[in-house]
Amino acid sequence: MHRGLLIVISGPSGVGKGTVIEKFIHDPDLNLTYSVSMTTRPRRPGEVDGVNYYFVSREEFLRARDNGELLESAEFVNNFYGTPLKKVEELRNAGKNVLLEIEVQGCQQVVQKCPDALTIFIVPPSMQELEKRIRGRATEPEEIVQQRLEKARREMAMTNQYKYVVCNDKPDLAADIIRVIIRDHMQENSTPAE
């Protein structure tokens, strides 16, 4: 059995990563599974512990990180986020393609450890549209919105670190493009090396 692919999807907050991912993650041909991250961020309305994130205290997070239990981790707008390593390894060894939805610093760490990771960055059609989407969420105070926008501007300058950049103007189209990219890499992954 082939070891599953490691797929990283990044993009500024508010770009609609979740919406796009939801459109292809259950496609049986892609054999995908979503890696649930650990975070110290407070839960948003509708989020479920163990489904959207594992919501943990700062102490729990730092303990896991210092024990080497995370594949990567980053601080983002005053909260920690990280990918549990053991689960990713188990799933890939079982032949599953594992999808990480993480920010840029985390992606850099992943690429250092797994240079063959398939990395995809989702961009908004414009920065004005991104601001509109972030404000549309309206669950956070202005100060946090500003921090997210500043972080978005910095992240948008780092898209050259990714193998693919996909624009989310129409989520259905963005999802179709990502499907094609993943299928192509699955074929490569299943072709025996010469």
53 bridge partner residues? 37, 49
- CA atoms of 36 and 29, how far apart (whole Å): 21
Nearest CB to ligand 5GP, comparing residues 81 and 186: 81
**Site pattern 81..100 for ligand 5GP (x: CB under 6 A):** xxx-----------------
Pair of tokens at residue 57: 């205290």
- CA atoms of 92 and 86, how far apart (whole Å): 10
Residue position matching structure tokens 């489904």: 51
Which of 5, 101, 119, 121 lies at the binding interface for ligand 5GP (CB under 6 A)? Answer: 101
Strand order in the sheet with 79-84: 53-55, 37-39, 79-84, 70-76
110 binds ligand 5GP (CB under 6 A): no
61 binds ligand 5GP (CB under 6 A): no
106 binds ligand 5GP (CB under 6 A): yes
Least Å from the CB of residue 16 to ligand 5GP: 11
Residue position matching structure tokens 């259950």: 26
Residues within the interface to ligand 5GP (CB under 6 A): 13, 37, 41, 72, 74, 76, 81-83, 101-103, 105-106
